[in-house]
Amino acid sequence: MNPQPDLSFDYSPWTFQANATAAQREAQLERQQALAGKDGITIGDAAYVSPLAMVDPDSLALGDESLIAAHAYLTGDLRIGSNCTVNAFTVVRGTVSMGDGVRIGAHTSILGFNHSMDPSQPVFRQPLTSKGIVLGDDVWIGSNAVVLDGVTVGSHAVLAAGAVVTKDVPDWAVVGGNPARFIRDRRTPRKAASGQGAAANGEGILRERLASFAGTARADAPAIIARSWQQEASGTGGFGEGRYVDRPGAAATVRAHCDAVEIADLLLRAAPPQLSRDAHVDRLASLQDPRTGLVPEYGPDGLPAAGELAFGNGAATYHVLSVGYALDLLGSGFKHPIHAVAGTGPADLAERLNALPWRKEAWESGAWVDAWGTAEYWNLARTAEGPGSTGTLEALFGWLLTRVNSAAGTWGTPSADTRLKVVNGYYRLTRGTFAQFGLPVPHPEQLIDTVLEHGADPRYFAAGRQNACNVLDVVHPLWLARKQVTHREADIKAWASTQLDHALGQWHPGQGMAFSAAPESGQQNLPGLQGTEMWLSIIWYLADLLGHSEALGYRPRGVHRPEPAFLLPTL
């Protein structure tokens, strides 16, 4: 018998809706109204917040039917989806985003912040840092687990009781231990996951191969970045100290600097050592043209090239992606809004989309949409300073959803002659829109059929014919669609396995990876920063399609990040 029946709802909040009296419902409503009266706090229907919980966030979005039990401690910027349960004595602090259906066991700590570790001063005097924690949908977290800052937990994952999670967890994974390690895929029967049989042995060999590859890449990363640093004598013009080139002998480019930042973050979780983090930020941010918000390429003198900048023309368009995400990885961002996009109204945007050469140049059109969506993302991320573009994102997605080829799942009609550009354009378009903003892609089964047909073309995917763009532009659409459907699962895995086997064999010790495997591709067959950055991300996506990306110990966080960068508000 419960000696304190009035506390039942506080420790078992899921019983409230079915059993609470009218007075108890009124008291709960008053508590929620008091909380929601503070700026930045919203509470959904049929939610429950125990009066014994310490809920003191900077912002909180608590979804419908979500529950916060007694003695939970919540602070920071929190987004909790619907049907989530934060059980008794759980700590959720810092920047934390949860999907729907997340269950968190008692005494768990989800810590979306950290202390700096400068040895020159005591910890208590150092500023806090926050990368944030993202939990997907349908995540089960056992009691006494700890999830540390910077971790992303995929949908349908299980974190065993007592797990200390320091690295990203893929969709459907079961992890446990300290530090948490992959145990099995939730969809795999326990007997099959125990290591019995040839298939399990093969998966074990693949995991070992992935871990070995990643270990080699981490060990080589400092040398790969250093060989692409072009030292310059002071006073020779430009930035004086030096600039990044894709590979020795190549011209310095803005993208090479961004690729160096991406590789260092991915493998070393640090800034490239040739400059301090602040110097990297200053160097990249200073390139931005304050009038257009675009970033030009270097001129012959090493300074930003002179001339008119126009969105959609030249390297400045891709720099919206590469420089923006490099600054983001460095903990900063553009100084100025992307004025070339800001203020575009729905009608103007529709006119520009209609004018793109979709039939003849599907890739060019998709690349334009990618850059536009990314520019809009950066502008949204700094709305406190910069102009907004109310309604334009909605207009973009509306235009795309009404123009998609429902038979192929693409924008443009794929044929033997056009399929390459259509599929590659699809990757660019969806990267900057549906993927970047966390929205489902239309017609995923038809898309998979189209992409797999293209992926079987020996002109682009036979051994020794691959290049990073072509493989990325197949694996990413397959990965996106597979999040929504299980259509042709075996075919997808077979393609991914073949391409992964090839990619893992293309590492050049101390130099990284070449953009192209084809010897006749000239300079593209030489290892450099661009090839290395792209193939590292490709290998992650290929491994993730096979359920083994966690063996790599890294997860893309920049241009090729698998998580949405910005979730649009929902009703």
Q: What are the catalytic residues? A: 115
* Helix or strand (DSSP H, E) at 536: helix 529-545
C-alpha closest to that of 44 among 19, 81, 77: 81
The dihedral formed by the CA atoms of 519, 524, 528 and 531, expressed in degrees to the nearest 10: -100
Q: What is the DSSP letter of 298?
A: B
Output helix, strand, coil percentages for the chain, rounded to the nearest 5.
40, 15, 45
DSSP 207-265: HHHHHHHHHHHHHHHHHHHHHTEEE--TTSSTTSSEEEBSSTTSPB-HHHHHHHHHHHH
Q: Say if CB 62 and CB 54 are below 8 A apart.
A: no
Strand boundaries in 29-84, DSSP class E: 41-43, 48-49, 54-62, 67-68, 73-80
Q: Which of 88, 92, 122, 91 is nearest to 106 (CA)?
A: 88
Contact 552, 539 (CB under 8 A): yes
Alpha carbon distance 279, 469 (integer Å): 30
Residue 284, Cα to own-chain centre: how many angstroms?
A: 21
Taking each helix axis as running N to C, give the angle between helix 489-504 and helix 444-455, from 0 to 180 degrees, rounded to the nearest 10. Answer: 40
SS3 sequence of 392-426: HHHHHHHHHHHHCECCCCECCCCCCCCHHHHHHHH
CA atoms in the 13 A half-sphere facing the CB of 465? 9
